[in-house]
Chain A
Amino acid sequence: MGALHELTAVEAWRLLERREISARELAGACLQRIEAVEPSVRALLTVDAEGALRQADTVDARRARGEALPPVAGIPVVLKDNLCTEGMRTTAGSRILERFVPPYDATVVARLRAAGAVFPGKANLDEFAMGSSTENSAFQITRNPWDLERVPGGSSGGSAAAVAAQECPLAVGSDTGGSIRQPAALCGVVGLKPTYGLVSRYGLIAYASSLDQIGPMGWTVQDVALLLDAIAGHDPLDTTSLAGSARGEDVTGYLEACREGVQGLRIGVPREYFGAGVTPAVAASVRAAADLLANLGAIVEECSLPTTDYALAAYYIIAPAECSSNLARYDGVKYGLRTRELAGHVGLMEKTRDEGFGAEVKQRIMVGTYALSHGYYDAYYRRAQQVRTLIRRDFETAFKRFDVLLTPTSPDVAFRIGERADPLAMKLADICTIPVNMAGLPAISVPCGFVDHLPVGLQVIGGALQERMLLRVAYTYEQATGWHRRRPVLPGT
Chain B
Amino acid sequence: MLEYEPVIGMECHAELLTESKMFCGCQNAFGGEPNTRCCPVCLGLPGALPVANRKAVEHVIRTALALNCTINRYARFDRKNYYYPDLPKGYQISEYDTPIGVRGWIDIEVNGEVRRVHIRRVHLEEDTGKLFHGMGNESYVDYNRAGVPLMEIVTDFPPDLHSAEEARTYLVKLRAILTYLDVCDGRMEQGSLRCEPNVSVRPKGSSTFGVKTEIKNLNSFRSVYRGIEYETQRQIEILRRGEQVVQETRGWNEERQQTFSQRSKEFEQEYRYFPDPDLLPLDIDEEWIAQIRATMPELPDERRNRFLRDYGLPPYDASFLTETRPLADYYEQVVRACGDAKQASNWVMGDLSRLLNADGKEIAECPVPPEHLAVMIQRIAEGTISGKIAKALLEEMYATGQPPDVLIEARGWTTIKDTATLSAMIDRVFAENADVVSAIREKGQLQKRGFLVGQVMKASQGKADPKEVNRLIDEKLNA
Bound pair: A and B? yes
Binding site for B on A (CB under 8 A): 82-84, 90, 92, 97, 100, 102-104, 106, 201-206, 208-210, 236-240, 321-322, 324-325, 327-331, 333-335, 342, 345-346, 349, 369, 372-374, 377, 381
Candidates A92, A203, A209, A333; contact of B85 at CB < 8 Å = A333
Q: Is A209 a contact partner of B46 (Cβ separation < 8 A)?
A: no
Give Cα A345 to B140, complex, Å: 11
Q: Is A325 a contact partner of B83 (Cβ separation < 8 A)?
A: no
A-B interface pairs (CB < 8 A), number: 105
Q: Which residues in B have their C-beta under 8 angstroms from that of A202? A: 47-49
Q: Is B47 a contact partner of A203 (Cβ separation < 8 A)?
A: yes
The contact sample of 21 A-B pairs, CB cut-off 8 A, is A102-B40, A102-B47, A106-B47, A205-B46, A209-B277, A209-B278, A239-B279, A324-B272, A325-B79, A328-B89, A331-B83, A331-B90, A333-B85, A345-B139, A346-B83, A372-B272, A373-B270, A374-B268, A374-B270, A374-B272, A377-B273
Q: Which residues in A have their C-beta under 8 angstroms from that of B85? A: 331, 333, 345, 349
Candidates A238, A324, A330, A334; contact of B43 at CB < 8 Å = A334
Q: Which of B72-94 contact A (CB under 8 A)?
A: 79, 81, 83-85, 88-91
| Interface core residue of B51, B91, B139, B277 (most chain A CB under 10 Å) | B277
Q: Which of B29-51 contact A (CB under 8 A)?
A: 40, 43-51
Q: Is A103 a contact partner of B272 (Cβ separation < 8 A)?
A: no
Does B208 make an interface contact (CB < 8 A)? Answer: no
Does B111 make an interface contact (CB < 8 A)? Answer: no
Q: Is B44 a contact partner of A84 (Cβ separation < 8 A)?
A: no
How many residues on the B side are at the interface (Cβ–Cβ under 8 A)?
32
Q: Is A84 a contact partner of B46 (Cβ separation < 8 A)?
A: yes
**Chain B positions 45 through 60: 1 when the CB is less than 8 Å from some CB of chain A, otherwise 0:** 1111111100000000
Candidates A239, A327, A342, A373; contact of B272 at CB < 8 Å = A373
Binding site for A on B (CB under 8 A): 40, 43-52, 79, 81, 83-85, 88-91, 137, 139, 141, 268, 270, 272-274, 277-280
Candidates B47, B89, B274; contact of A372 at CB < 8 Å = B274
Q: Is A329 a contact partner of B47 (Cβ separation < 8 A)?
A: no
- Nearest Cβ distance between residue B8 and chain A, in whole angstroms? 27
Q: Which residues in B have their C-beta under 8 angstroms from that of A373? A: 270, 272
Q: Is A342 a contact partner of B47 (Cβ separation < 8 A)?
A: no
Give Cα A215 to B141, complex, Å: 37
Give Cα A82 to B47, complex, Å: 8
Q: Is A238 a contact partner of B49 (Cβ separation < 8 A)?
A: yes
- Nearest Cβ distance between residue A376 and chain B, in whole angstroms? 10
Q: Is B46 a contact partner of A329 (Cβ separation < 8 A)?
A: yes
Candidates B90, B274, B277; contact of A328 at CB < 8 Å = B90
Q: Is A237 a contact partner of B274 (Cβ separation < 8 A)?
A: no
Q: Which residues in B have their C-beta under 8 angstroms from that of A92? A: 46
Q: Is B51 a contact partner of A236 (Cβ separation < 8 A)?
A: yes
| Interface core residue of A202, A334, A377 (most chain B CB under 10 Å) | A334
- Nearest Cβ distance between residue A8 and chain B, in whole angstroms? 30
Query: In chain B, what residue has the closest Cβ to A322?
Result: B277
Task: Please give 4 more A-B residue pairs, beta carbons under 8 A apart, in addition to A92-B46, A208-B277, A377-B273.
Answer: A325-B79, A349-B83, A373-B270, A374-B270
Q: Is B45 a contact partner of A335 (Cβ separation < 8 A)?
A: yes
Give Cα A209 to B268, complex, Å: 28
Q: Is B46 a contact partner of A239 (Cβ separation < 8 A)?
A: no
Q: Is B278 a contact partner of A240 (Cβ separation < 8 A)?
A: yes
Give Cα A82 to B278, complex, Å: 17
Candidates B45, B141, B268; contact of A103 at CB < 8 Å = B45
